[in-house]
Structure 1
Amino acid sequence: MIRMGESRLGAVSTGVLAFFCLNPTVIQAQDRPAELARDYRIEAGPLTQSLNQFVMRSGVAMVFPSSLTADRQAPALKGRYTVREGFGKLLHGTGLRAVLQEGNTYSLIALSPPQSVLDRDPDVATLDTVYAIDDLYGRTVDGYIAVTDTTAMKTASSLLETPQTVNVVTKDQIVAQGAHSVTDAVRYTPGVLASFGDSDTRNDVLHSRGFYLKQNLNGSKLPFGAYSAAMLRIEPYGLERIDILKGPASVMYGQNTPGGIVNMTTKQPLNVPMHEIVVGGGNHDRTLGAFDFTGPVDEEGRLSYRLTGLARNSNGRVDDGFDRRIFIAPSLEWKLGDRTRLTVFSHYQRDKTLTDYSALPAIGTLYESPNGRISPTKNLGQPDFDGYERRQAAIGYEFEHVFNDVFTLRQNLQYNKVDVTTQASPGYMLDPTARYLSRVGTRGQARADVLSVDTHVQADFHMGAARHTVLAGIDYMKLDDYYKFASGLYASPLDIQNPDYNVAHPELIPRIDYRQTREQLGFYLQDQIRWNRWVLTLGGRYDQAHSRTLNQLPASVRAKQQESAWTGRVGLAYVFDNGLAPYISYSSSFEPEDGTDFSGAQFKAMKGRQIEAGVKYQPAGQKSFVTLSAFEIRQRNMTTPDPDPLHTGFLVQSGEARVRGLEIEAKAHINKSLNVIASYAYLNSRMIKANADASGRTLQGKSLERVPRHQAALWVEYQPVPALHLAAGLRYQGSNFGDADNTLALPARTLVDASVRYDAEQLSSSLKGMTLQLTASNLFNKEYIGYCLNEIQCFYGQGRTVQASLRYKW
């Protein structure tokens, strides 16, 4: 006979909710008796803690009286198990049983002899449906809310236990908000913004907490050339998720800015079939076609594949503009036995665009002009000369071998390559009437490739009452970066009011011929120590970084630079049973700086450090996650003018910047009809140390450029009926400065987004898997200046973008 435990509400607590789905398809247990097996690594310990880890990784929800699990222990669960098998092993001998209730929630009940149900399997009641959800590394998520992460620790870690802010954008959020770039995808993330404005259709360059974010793909560094010319731009349709690790991250990744890391994870092969085709269109004559196929290759499920592709074409908002892309990404996963897995992934992409990122004078855009306002569609470049073309490719693998219950070996190798050719005709001088613009023709040719390999061993063991997860690793990175630049002046100015493009192209004179090789070798050690509810994270790293540079213009000059650095992270969190987890941490970074001072001594690496304290909250019984953090970041060894009057034009490294801030992000599935994303960031940035130049100009006391003091966003999705999803979003960015001197003030702005989605299955069962969607970004087409490089080159922000799509999934 099965009887419920204590029914009084005060005695009932929620174990854990794991909300994410590997595939939105519902797997019927009676159709697949083996269910969907997953890999688990749960140490022996208190039953409550073990059940929490199991349901978080398997994706089911569990509600139970707290008295049932008190003082009970669970054995270790390591290996590949179905949900039924996992519950069976964890509950074996406890006198408890997991029973599936409505809404994919399990209850935990005590057995009373004699047993009347499932005598052959007393620990699990009949399973009618199983939702396949979070994978072992916490990468695959269904919905908006992630609770696990591998970016911060390089281990599958709970975000509650991670003593640093990590914001996650899932593939479902990318789709729901109609994001067609990584810049679009992170626009509801607190403290993150497009470094040079959001209308750039060429690159995704991002800021966080006042500093640039370096970009990783599947945990490996993407090229980061000295002139930021050779950059990959990752197609968001090919991504599973985007993780933004805030603050210094050198302890895991070596040389890096104090802003943090953007790690983009590509879609992984699944061992259940899933197929999707998307067709769409939008304003500016946009057309799009995409597909995403995955599933097992063999009957045993040892070999799985994924093939994702996309092609799109559109005109631009600016006159004569266009934007085209072709993208293909095959991947393959091979299970070489029960303990070994190899995943090979790759992609190829080609972009060609005449970008909306069109430089216009501040007079007529940011400021009033006697000649009237310059339209955002105005192209003051040279349409038959300007353009941007990129070819990029990546290939790599992830390998994992589990030796035993303690040791696991992993290796991640990746090679990324990009070739870029860009031509532009920006202005450099405006005549006194503010009508005639003198222009310069430019051509940049850039190429970069980066090889990275990261090998580490993870050890999970107990020492006394403490449970340790130790990570020891070595990584190597080699970056080759090439850049050539040429320019020449146009013979006559361009009439802004009545541009005449029938002019001769200028003769381009070579100005830069630059080649650089960077190498980095790093050794790191980390220990995550769990004792009762405490989680202590200790990490340290030693890096050797080398660079060789050849500048061939105006004369051949070679330079070598060598740097070594120790970095680290210390963090402490306390996880309450109700899902509240206060934490505090310290982390550091280093970033090599090219160049020499007056004496010829090479510059030292810039050093960053962050102190962060906050609280994370994953409320029991609810699908939600909240992060609140306060922090201070300082970056030292920044270059500033040499104060010696005999050293005019030289730099010294006595500059220092400071950013203090507060961030909050809340994602909540309030009920089956309502989802909310809310975020806010407050940033106070200052140059606290800087020298004056020969003219007396100094940056000391100035705000850092492109750092708004206030930033907020709200996204609400409502489902009034089962088939219809209505969503609206607000994005606010406060005023900030486009230049280091704080002379170009960019006004605050508030933008509105919207989305409508309809599941066609409600019309007819024959339309099962078909979804219609309409999204709009900047719905009211607000005109605003997103960025100014100087008073001659300002850039409008992204105008209204409307997209309609038909998605069919089976």
Structure 2
Amino acid sequence: MALAAAGLLAVPALAQTATTRSSAEGDDAATEEILVYGRIARDTTLSIPQSVDVLDRSLIESSSSETVGDALRFVPGASRDGSVLDAFGDTYLIRGFQANQTVNGINANALRQARDTIAIERVEVLKGPASVLYGQLQPGAVVNVVTKQPQRDWAGAASLSYGRYQDWRGTIDLTGPLAADGDVRFRLTGAYDDADSFVDFWHRKHLFIAPTVAFDLGDATTVTIESLYTRNKLKGFVNGLPAEGTVLANPNGSLPRSLGLADPTFAPSIRENADVSARVEHRFSDRASWRTALSWTHEKTDEEGVFGLLGWEDDAKRNLMRAVLTSVSNGDTWTAHSDLALDFETGPIAHALVLGGDYTWFDRHNLSDVGLAASLDVYDPVYDLTARPATFPLPDFGSETDESTRTAGLFAQDRITLTEQIKFVAGVRWSHYRQRTESIQGTGSLNVNRQTQTAWTSQFGLLYTPVENVALFANRTTSFLPVQGVTADGSSLEPETGTQYELGAKASLLGGRLALNAALFHLKRGDVAVSDRDDPSALIAIGAQVARGFELSASARPIEGLSLYAGYAYTRAKTTEDTNTALVGKRIRNIPRHSLVLRSDYEIRNGALAGLTFGASATYTGDRSGDLEDSFELPGYWRADMQAAYALTDNIKLGASVENLTDERYYTHAFSQFEVWPGAPRTWRVSLTTRF
């Protein structure tokens, strides 16, 4: 409780339906326009009948968030399902199920690695299913990344930071006109990291660069060409530790969180993505606008991971058998999107109609092999420091796979203003999905699977505003996700579905200085597919999972320079139907029943200490199930972080931060009894930023 109090006293204000903003801004955050709900037709968080969190640039900077996943920890009810130690740092579960990323309100090609925040203006989190607007998705949430855009005036910033474990990071952000009138302009953002970790033999080199050019064709048309290249090279790729020795007792004692399962001579894992997109936006009039976009993403991976999934070698529970998975893949994704937004009236009723469609073309080739490495005594590990250890191949488990997917969708969404106090939203999407997978197993057998699936998804929402800046809302939204794979008899599975019912209230009071939000939700995921218990190479539909709960949040700017935020989520997520009746009623993996976020920033604006800022946060993540069977539990934990910065001049700022201030020993997530991820110990960082 002392930690919670410290978080409140020291602790950027984000609201579940109100933007996290710098306390220097006095305007109403609830009137900030967002993209995530309308793709092209923008709206505000206060005027849509669904819960939205908006994490703005001030939060990203003040909390030293380097990836989207770093920022998502400030969303109540969000729990990590990946780690920067394994390049899945953006993977999160929200309201019990996986969240999905989009970019600038458009379906995003998957990067399969954490997205750097240097190119991000804000992150919008639309909670619940959103397949009407975004197609084939998991039902947890849509995380929409809004990128920094080129500006007409010259501006720039650069930073250099150094942290514990030899962690060097440099960033740059430049923008300005390429033509005298600003009709052609550019933006260039980039970051480079070179870091060790608390895990033995782990090392990362991270490169990110994102050039953007925008040009106006007259007063009504803008063309934007965005691109990025990102590369992560990881040595000592982390795949978790055994539960016995971390969260469960082991007769040999506790395992150090620094334990790495891979010898330093194993090959590094490399992930690369290149992405280029062209977007055209045209305004026919104040009431009609159109946008179309085409993007291409190339992915390349060359990975070697060491797993302890095979378990203990004997009952002594100290020698861990190690599997070595190598994988090389290349893939290309093309996506096309088009949206038309129209505002019109039918008598006294006003409409904001969005019509659109999208098409995705995806091909990937993957070659994987599985082998065995010598077992590792995890209590007295001996590593090969001179040459890669010999491995024994398991050809029956290797494969070469070609995957080809084509997805098409058409949608319509109408936001209807019945009266000044009552608004109604209705939307529908038709989705068509085709996939062909050709796989040659290590035994030489050829498996060819084709499947075609079609689905309709819908959304309905009602918003009632009894008084100005106070809204009550209700919604029903659905999702659709094709299942990639077949059953043991070779037949296709029905697509997974998601349905959410939500009731809530939100208010923006005192001229936007106080925001209050509450939501009650019931979310069901149906036709859930997992590995067949009798044939792990095949899939089986186990039934259904349900998450229900409520969320509360409040943000305030009580005095000049001070922002406060508190958010709480209660989520009860469990399996309600399963082919294995013993699992009915079991908790869904990695979903805490209780989660709490406390944060604040304070900026001194006058006097001798003007230019000094403080920030702090305290987050609580409750007990969670560690695997599908709910056979063990990850304990709850508090984490406290603090930041401070001082403006040496108008253009130079010195900063410092400490994460996990109390050096809490905690575990972020797990997949099985041999895949438990430890959290980082106390970590510090100092930085120098210049703006020009």
Q: Would the aligned equivalents of 2:372 and 2:391 in 1 still touch at CA under 8 Å?
A: yes
Q: Would the aligned equivalents of 1:201 and 1:355 in 2 still touch at CA under 8 Å?
A: no
The one-letter amino acid paired with 1:334 is: F
Report how far residue 495 of structure 1 moved.
Answer: 5.4
Report how far residue 326 of structure 1 moved.
Answer: 1.6
2:501 aligns with 611
The one-letter amino acid paired with 1:708 is: P
Matching residue within 665, 669, 682 for 1:800: 682
Q: Distance in 2 between matches of 1:768 and 1:382?
A: 48
Matching residue within 624, 643, 646 for 1:736: 624
Larger RCO (CA within 8 A; separation ≥ 6): 2
1:292 aligns with 173
2:408 aligns with 521
Matching residue within 391, 403, 412 for 1:506: 391
Could you give the per-residue CA deviations for residues 68-122 of structure 1, whole angstroms, max 9, x where no partner exists? Answer: xxxxxxxxxxxxxxxxxxxxxxxxxxxxxxxxxxxxxxxxxxxxxxxxxxxxxxx
Report how far residue 654 of structure 1 moved.
Answer: 5.9
The answer on 1:385 being equivalent to 2:269 is no
Q: Distance in 2 between matches of 1:174 and 1:239?
A: 9
Q: Distance in 2 between matches of 1:287 and 1:354?
A: 16
After TM superposition, the structure 1 = structure 2 runs for residues 94-243 of structure 1, keeping only pairs within 5 Å, are: 147-154=32-39, 155-196=41-82, 199-223=85-109, 231-243=112-124
After TM superposition, the structure 1 = structure 2 runs for residues 521-540 of structure 1, keeping only pairs within 5 Å, are: 521-530=408-417, 531-540=419-428
The answer on 1:659 being equivalent to 2:542 is no
SS class of match (2:46): helix
- Relative to 1, partners in 2 of residues 1:493 and 1:303: Cα closer, same or farther, differing over 3 Å? closer
Q: Distance in 2 between matches of 1:649 and 1:507?
A: 21
After TM superposition, the structure 1 = structure 2 runs for residues 55-454 of structure 1, keeping only pairs within 5 Å, are: 61=27, 147-154=32-39, 155-196=41-82, 199-223=85-109, 231-355=112-236, 357=238, 359-427=240-308, 428-430=310-312, 431-454=314-337
1:141 aligns with none
The one-letter amino acid paired with 2:588 is: L
Matching residue within 505, 513, 524 for 1:634: 524
Work out the percentage of aligned pairs sharing the same amino acid: 26
Q: Which runs of 5+ in 2 are unaligned?
A: 1-17
SS class of match (1:425): strand
- Relative to 1, partners in 2 of residues 1:642 and 1:532: Cα closer, same or farther, differing over 3 Å? same
The answer on 1:571 being equivalent to 2:456 is no
Q: Distance in 1 between matches of 2:275 and 2:354?
A: 27
1:717 aligns with 601
Aligned pair count?
A: 660
TM-score, with length taken from structure 1: 0.77
Q: Structure 1 or 2: larger strand share? A: 2
Q: Would the aligned equivalents of 2:530 and 2:539 in 1 still touch at CA under 8 Å?
A: yes
SS class of match (1:415): strand
Q: Would the aligned equivalents of 1:222 and 1:232 in 2 still touch at CA under 8 Å?
A: no
Q: Distance in 2 between matches of 1:201 and 1:757?
A: 29
Q: Distance in 1 between matches of 2:624 and 2:346?
A: 51
Q: Would the aligned equivalents of 1:306 and 1:331 in 2 still touch at CA under 8 Å?
A: yes
233-242 vs 350-359, which deviates more?
350-359
Report how far residue 159 of structure 1 moved.
Answer: 1.1
Report how far residue 652 of structure 1 moved.
Answer: 5.4
SS class of match (2:557): strand
SS class of match (1:331): strand
TM-score, with length taken from structure 2: 0.90
The one-letter amino acid paired with 2:331 is: A
- Relative to 1, partners in 2 of residues 1:669 and 1:789: Cα closer, same or farther, differing over 3 Å? same
- Relative to 1, partners in 2 of residues 1:432 and 1:656: Cα closer, same or farther, differing over 3 Å? same
Report how far residue 482 of structure 1 moved.
Answer: 2.9
SS class of match (1:482): strand
200-209 vs 530-539, which deviates more?
200-209
Q: Would the aligned equivalents of 2:31 and 2:44 in 1 still touch at CA under 8 Å?
A: no
1:668 aligns with 556
292-301 vs 594-603, which deviates more?
594-603
Q: Distance in 2 between matches of 1:348 and 1:641?
A: 34
Q: Would the aligned equivalents of 1:316 and 1:356 in 2 still touch at CA under 8 Å?
A: no
The one-letter amino acid paired with 1:448 is: G
Could you give the per-residue CA deviations for residues 502-523 of structure 1, whole angstroms, max 9, x where no partner exists? Answer: 5732144451222212211111
Q: Would the aligned equivalents of 2:154 and 2:177 in 1 still touch at CA under 8 Å?
A: yes
The answer on 1:781 being equivalent to 2:663 is yes
Report how far residue 677 of structure 1 moved.
Answer: 2.3
Could you give the per-residue CA deviations for residues 765-794 of structure 1, whole angstroms, max 9, x where no partner exists? Answer: xx2121111112211221122233333332
Report how far residue 396 of structure 1 moved.
Answer: 0.5
Q: Would the aligned equivalents of 2:590 and 2:624 in 1 still touch at CA under 8 Å?
A: yes
Q: Distance in 2 between matches of 1:417 and 1:303?
A: 27
Report how far residue 270 of structure 1 moved.
Answer: 1.2
Q: CA RMSD for the aligned pairs?
A: 2.6
Matching residue within 476, 485, 489 for 2:368: 485
- Relative to 1, partners in 2 of residues 1:152 and 1:482: Cα closer, same or farther, differing over 3 Å? farther
Report how far residue 386 of structure 1 moved.
Answer: 4.6
Q: Distance in 2 between matches of 1:640 and 1:323?
A: 32
SS class of match (2:511): coil
Report how far residue 183 of structure 1 moved.
Answer: 1.5
The one-letter amino acid paired with 2:136 is: Q
560-569 vs 348-357, which deviates more?
348-357
Q: Which runs of 5+ in 1 are unaligned?
A: 1-17, 25-58, 63-143, 225-229, 761-766
Report how far residue 278 of structure 1 moved.
Answer: 0.8
1:461 aligns with 344
1:549 aligns with 437
- Relative to 1, partners in 2 of residues 1:393 and 1:627: Cα closer, same or farther, differing over 3 Å? farther
1:699 aligns with 583
Report how far residue 223 of structure 1 moved.
Answer: 4.5
Q: Distance in 1 between matches of 2:562 and 2:248?
A: 42
Report how far residue 462 of structure 1 moved.
Answer: 2.2
Q: Would the aligned equivalents of 1:441 and 1:505 in 2 still touch at CA under 8 Å?
A: no
Q: Distance in 2 between matches of 1:557 and 1:455?
A: 36
- Relative to 1, partners in 2 of residues 1:561 and 1:735: Cα closer, same or farther, differing over 3 Å? same
Q: Would the aligned equivalents of 1:242 and 1:262 in 2 still touch at CA under 8 Å?
A: yes
Could you give the per-residue CA deviations for residues 459-500 of structure 1, whole angstroms, max 9, x where no partner exists? Answer: 112222222111111111122233322121124544531423
Q: Distance in 1 between matches of 2:573 and 2:462?
A: 26
Q: Would the aligned equivalents of 1:191 and 1:711 in 2 still touch at CA under 8 Å?
A: yes
SS class of match (1:756): strand
Report how far residue 232 of structure 1 moved.
Answer: 3.6
2:14 aligns with none
Q: Would the aligned equivalents of 1:316 and 1:354 in 2 still touch at CA under 8 Å?
A: no
Q: Distance in 1 between matches of 2:536 and 2:384?
A: 42
Q: Distance in 2 between matches of 1:183 and 1:654?
A: 29
